């Protein structure tokens, strides 16, 4: 065996002497490249992160898009911006490979969650490197979610080129600018450019790896929808002494409304909330059974004294729909608190969905529950006539930028190839049926006539969606290896 | 009869010709004076209101104090600032009247509630006059609560002087700068200056008149205390997709905690909350029975579709203790809302007290309730050890600047004289045992060895403690008449 290999290798060197470096695997090529260029790569990533990318600032989202367009063009990638009115563009790029039989699409997003700078220790767009537990991390909005994935893809291209590893499939990049706003225009943009964005598989590079730190491949994601509920007290703030325990207090009304939505174990009490859930397949159950159980480690990391779910593990609970309060507000707390009966109280509700539950149906279940608690429900600021005619009035604004959950069967041939590629780069891989966070996989699948498989690279503790978001730099270097291995797929 | 009166009058003119103008009553003198000087008076009041007066800005509170000191000194009133370290000064003035048998103390306060300028249509310290329903109102923080009372007292002095009406009692002014912060130093300042501030009665000029618009005399006020409750979720905001329905959501925990504090009718469910209430006397019950019932008008004015109390009237409910949520916050709502499980949720709770219920006892009842709901209660930011060792942790900060309710019996001779003086100026007067809002009457009574009677002048709909606070200018002119009549008391 040894002799035969040596012969083959010699032959290979003789025939392809100029491409000697191609003997390295894609992930080795990536490791070699990043080891040689870490300082420059870190600076380039910082430059990318320093461009603000929140939905409230469309001009900066455009700057991100042009930054990426230039990044692709400078690498010789055929690229353009795909636009629809009123939305940040999708940055598109493609490398057509002669003789390729398959097309692999790499999806990521360049926009980030809103920021509240006062909550950040390090300004959200300063992209500062700090040591955490002896390891370098880079702090910035979207460091983990999701600019890291884009930067890893660009760098993987450079690494493959540096080692003269030729691509074997067609490669496409679809980098969205509206994911954190619920991707309201993605499906339209994809459908308008159906031929450009089609692929045998979409590799969705978003979200964190398993909390154990092991590279993860995820075969679906929860869907997501939101409702904003506003309940009403007096037309304007009233003195809480002169009118307290006579004028209804909307903060208390809201507390009572919300309190009835869940029991003490976090089980949602809204009627029919769990109806329709598609059960997991045998393979999915098996994957879950083999996945690390990180609950105790996470409780310690998050300083938690209990968890919801009556003892169920995180990975089990992620395969159920959820109801989460993202924010509450009524008048002021802290130094600005005043003795008032507030005029309104507001709750932002996040509903995560699993396969089998449609987002519109789930929204309606919440609305029906609010009605069942004696509320007259409106979808606009209520008039005086509406407020005085009903004991309790709630305005419910349903987010139209919502989408359903998706799961790709793990048994598909393409799924097995992706698992093999990732394993070649990163060793044993955690396989999960569902990611807790949401990605608009359904829109991608419908519009691009494809299947989606998610390959995240960020550390789980990246403060995604919160203040002081950060990426462990080692996750970036590892992620570049993973992306290089995926780009080498046939 | 007519002839005899004429004779008497002629004799009076012969004997006291130089003091001819003294024939007018104090309230007539005040009306004459304000009619002649409305534009200047409005400007002077605007000047006073334009000095910011929130607790967070001690330098501006000092400016208010010196403004008032100068106002008293320019009128020849013996005056000074009474100080204790770390508190805004009390502005003190006195007019000692030869042969006076009684001393009447006029209390008011020059500080105002905190402001959130973004909530104001008109900047809070611009002191702008605008028409509302055809009547002039002046918009500014403290326009009603409580600079109007101070300005009315100063102007009443001028009006009496202009009509050469000599005072008959000693008059003292005690104008506080810390009332909206709960008067934490008032008792100490008064006790340090016990001889200066003593009086036969303290006339507490604060709060609004009855909602019917009729001049009101109030014989007590609810006490007040606050608690700030913080409940804890994860140590930092977590992605609501990846951890939603596993990591406990503090906004939901707080909602469930608060919801259990009241029933759907607003009745407080905290054990013993109503224990110990001192019953109303026969005179107090009779006064309440004669007071206007404004509930329907108020529901319309405040756009309310229901009220708390299961059908009881506002004036009845004010004679009960209350629990009111002054503010709620957890992460963000609206455009800044993000998909997070918030790390904390906070409620500011206002407890109003009636005679017979001590504020420390009432605070403890709330704390006991929180404990009964499974919370480990701390009075500091909890450590990791505390958070992980207990399923539920609540930080409760009890406001030490709290005080009990007070009621002065309506049958006292001094009470009857005050009623007569106010009636002489304003006709039929509404008598109320208790004001819903709170004034630190107990501290005044203890330190100044006196009784308190409250004579408010502001319109009820002055947005006191809220955005766009405003005073109906006619209430200022009427209030000057009332103050003049009270200053004329023997």
Residue of B143, B212, B239, B465 for testing the chain A interface, max A β-carbons within 10 Å: B239
Q: Contact, A440 vs A179, CB < 8 A?
A: yes
CB contact under 8 A, B392 and A306: yes
Flag whether pLDDT at A397 surpasses 50.
yes
CA distance B401 to chain A (A): 14
User: Inter-chain contact B255–A252, Cβ cutoff 8 Å?
Assistant: no
Q: What are phi and psi of A68, to 5 degrees?
A: -75, -35
Q: For position A46, what pLDDT does the model report?
A: 98
B334 CB neighbours in chain A (<8 A) are 228, 329, 346, 348
Using a CB-CB distance cutoff of 8 angstroms, which residues of chain A are in contact with residue B336?
114, 116, 327
Q: Which residues of B touch A221 (CB under 8 A)?
A: 241
d(CA A241, CA A307): 38
> Is the pLDDT assigned to residue A112 strictly greater than 80?
yes
Q: Which residue has the higher pLDDT, B286 or A182?
A: B286
Residue of B nearest to A461 (CA): B238
Q: Report the residue from A242, A258, A437 with minimal CB separation from B239.
A: A437
Residue in B347, B329, B353, B325 with CA at minimum distance from that of residue B395: B347
Å between A278 CA and nearest CA of chain B: 18
Chain B: give the shortest CA distance to residue A379, in Å.
15
Place of tokens 């009574």: B445
Across A145-150, average pLDDT:
97
> Residue A443: which pLDDT band, with cuts at 50, 70 and 90?
confident
Residue B274's pLDDT is what?
98
Q: Provide the mean pLDDT of chain A.
A: 93
Are the beta carbons of A234 and B304 separated by less than 8 Å?
Answer: yes
pLDDT at site A404:
94
Please say whether the beta carbons of B286 and B364 come within 8 A: no
- The number of C-alpha atoms within 13 Å of A73 and in the hemisphere containing its C-beta is 10
CA–CA gap between residue B251 and residue B257 (Å, rounded): 10
Instruction: Give the nearest partner residue to B388 out of A226, A304, A336, using CB atoms.
Output: A304
Q: Of B367, B481, B463, which Cα lies nearest the Cα of B424?
A: B481
CB B128 within 8 A of CB B139: yes
The answer to which of A131-135, A209-213, B75-79, B389-393 has the lowest mean pLDDT is A209-213
CATH number for the segment(s) A223-268+321-398: 3.30.70.360
pLDDT along chain B (490 residues), means of 10: 41 42 85 98 98 97 98 98 97 97 97 94 96 97 98 98 97 96 91 95 94 94 96 94 95 98 96 97 94 96 95 94 98 92 98 97 98 98 98 96 92 94 94 90 91 96 91 98 96
Among A137, A154, A126, CA closest to A46? A126
- Among chain A residues, the shortest Cα distance to B461 is held by A238
Query: Which of B137, B218, B228, B240 should we substitute to test contact with A (largest number of A Cβ atoms within 10 Å)?
Result: B240
- Residues on chain A touching B341 (C-beta within 8 angstroms): 324
Smallest Cα distance from A213 to chain B, Å: 15
Contact check, Cβ <8 Å, A305/B392: yes
Contacts of B307 in chain A (CB under 8 A): 246-248
Please name the member of B258, B266, B464 whose beta carbon is closest to the beta carbon of A239.
B464
Please state the domain extents for chain B: 24-222+405-487, 223-292+315-398
Nearest chain B Cα distance for residue A12, angstroms: 47
The C-alpha atoms of residue B93 and residue B466 are separated, in whole angstroms, by 30
Give the integer Cα–Cα distance in Å for A487 and A264: 47
Cβ contact (<8 Å) for A309 and B261? no
Predicted local distance difference test score (pLDDT) of residue A278: 96
Query: Could B325 and A252 be called an inter-chain contact, meaning their C-beta atoms sit closer than 8 Å?
Result: yes
Which one of B241, B253, B349, B376 makes the best mutation probe of the A interface by having the most chain A beta carbons within 10 Å? B241
Give pLDDT, residue B437.
87
Residue A464 pLDDT level (bands cut at 50, 70, 90)? confident
B24-222+405-487 under CATH 3.30.830.10, yes or no: no
Beta carbons of B339 and A350 less than 8 Å apart: yes
Give the nearest partner residue to B246 out of A228, A314, A465, using CB atoms: A314
Are A302 and B252 an interchain contact pair (Cβ–Cβ within 8 Å)? no
Tell me: ipTM over 0.90. Answer: no
CB B79 within 8 Å of CB B93: yes
Helix pair B147-162, B58-74: axis angle to 10 deg: 10
pLDDT given for residue B201 in this prediction: 97
Q: State whether B328 and A251 contact (CB < 8 Å).
A: yes
Residue A8 has pLDDT above 70, yes or no: no
For residue B443, what pLDDT is reported? 86
Q: Do B309 and A246 touch (CB under 8 A)?
A: yes
pLDDT at A5 over 70: no
Instruction: Kindly list the residues from chain B whose CB atom is less than 8 angstroms away from the CB atom of residue A301.
Output: 235
How far apart are the CA of B252 and the nearest CA of chain A, in angstroms? 7
pLDDT value of position A23: 80
pLDDT band at A17; cut points 50, 70, 90: very low
For A222-275, how does the pLDDT look when each residue is reduced to its tens digit (9 = 90+)? 999 999 999 999 999 999 999 999 999 999 999 999 999 999 999 999 999 999
- What's the confidence (pLDDT) of residue B182? 82
Closest CA to B438 of B191, B220, B113, B226: B220
pLDDT band, very low/low/confident/very high, at A3 (cuts 50, 70, 90): very low
Confidence of residue A64 (pLDDT cuts 50, 70, 90): very high
Q: Taking a C-beta distance cutoff of 8 angstroms, is the pair A270, A366 a contact?
A: yes
- Residue B438 is predicted with a pLDDT of 86
Q: Which fold has domain B223-292+315-398?
A: Alpha-Beta Plaits (3.30.70)
pLDDT in tens, A72-106: 999 999 999 999 999 999 999 999 999 999 999 99
Mutate to test the interface with A, among B246, B330, B432 (most CBs of A within 10 A): B246
Whether the CB-CB separation of A393 and B306 falls below 8 Å is answered with: no
Given a contact cutoff of 8 angstroms between Cβ atoms, the answer to whether B268 and B274 are in contact is yes
Helix (H) or strand (E) holding A44: helix A26-49
Chain A nearest C-alpha distance from B7 (Å): 51
Q: Which two tokens stand for residue B114?
A: 């905190």
pLDDT in tens, A26-42: 999 999 999 999 999 99
CB contact under 8 A, B256 and A259: yes
Taking CA B214 as the corner, what is the angle to CA B208 and CA B216, rounded to the nearest 5 degrees? 55
Q: Which residues of A touch B437 (CB under 8 A)?
A: 239, 241-242, 339
Residues of B in contact with A307 (CB under 8 A): 246-248
Q: What is the pLDDT of residue B3?
A: 40
């Amino acid at each position: 065996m040894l002799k035969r290999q040596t012969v083959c290798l010699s032959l290979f060197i003789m025939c392809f002497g100029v491409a000697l470096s191609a003997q390295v695997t894609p992930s080795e090529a990536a490791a070699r490249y990043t080891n040689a260029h870490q300082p420059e790569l870190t600076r380039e990533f910082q430059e990318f992160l320093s461009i603000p990318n929140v939905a409230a600032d469309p001009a900066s989202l455009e700057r991100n898009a042009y930054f990426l367009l230039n990044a692709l063009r400078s690498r010789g990638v055929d690229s353009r911006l795909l636009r629809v009115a009123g939305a940040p563009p999708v940055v598109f790029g493609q490398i057509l490979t002669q003789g390729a039989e398959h097309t692999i699409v790499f999806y990521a997003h360049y926009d980030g969650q809103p920021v509240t700078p006062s909550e950040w220790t390090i300004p959200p767009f300063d992209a500062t490197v700090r040591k955490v537990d002896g390891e370098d991390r880079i702090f910035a909005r979207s460091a983990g979610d999701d600019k890291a994935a884009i930067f890893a893809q660009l760098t993987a291209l450079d690494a493959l080129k540096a080692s003269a590893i030729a691509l074997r499939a067609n490669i496409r990049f679809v980098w969205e600018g509206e994911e954190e706003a619920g991707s309201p225009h993605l499906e339209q943009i994809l459908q308008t450019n159906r031929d450009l964005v089609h692929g045998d598989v979409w590799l969705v590079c978003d979200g964190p790896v398993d909390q154990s730190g092991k590279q993860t491949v995820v075969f679906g994601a929860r869907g997501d929808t939101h409702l904003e509920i506003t309940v009403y007290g007096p037309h304007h703030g009233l003195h809480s002494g002169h009118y307290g325990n006579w004028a209804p207090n909307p903060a208390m009304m809201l507390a009572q409304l919300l309190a009835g939505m869940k029991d003490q174990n976090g089980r949602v009490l809204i009627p029919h909330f769990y109806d329709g859930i598609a059960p997991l397949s045998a393979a999915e159950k098996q994957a879950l059974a083999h996945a690390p159980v990180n609950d105790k480690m996470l409780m310690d990391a998050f300083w938690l004294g209990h968890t919801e779910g009556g003892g169920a593990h995180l990975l089990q609970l992620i395969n159920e729909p959820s109801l989460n309060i993202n924010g509450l507000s009524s008048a002021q707390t802290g130094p600005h608190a005043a003795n008032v009966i507030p005029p309104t109280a507001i709750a932002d509700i996040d509903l995560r969905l699993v396969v089998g539950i449609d987002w519109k149906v789930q929204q309606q279940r919440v609305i029906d529950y609010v009605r069942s608690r004696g509320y007259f429900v409106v979808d606009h600021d209520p008039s005086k006539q509406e407020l005085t005619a009903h004991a309790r009035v709630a305005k419910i604004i349903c987010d139209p930028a919502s989408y359903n959950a998706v799961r790709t069967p793990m048994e598909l041939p393409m799924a097995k190839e992706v698992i093999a590629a990732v394993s070649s780069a990163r060793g044993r891989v955690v396989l999960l049926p569902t990611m807790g966070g949401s990605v608009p996989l359904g829109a991608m699948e419908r519009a691009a006539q494809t299947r989606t498989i998610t390959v995240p690279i960020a550390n789980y503790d990246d403060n995604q969606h919160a203040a002081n978001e950060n990426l462990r730099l080692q996750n970036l270097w590892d992620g570049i290896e993973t992306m290089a291995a995926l780009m080498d797929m046939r």
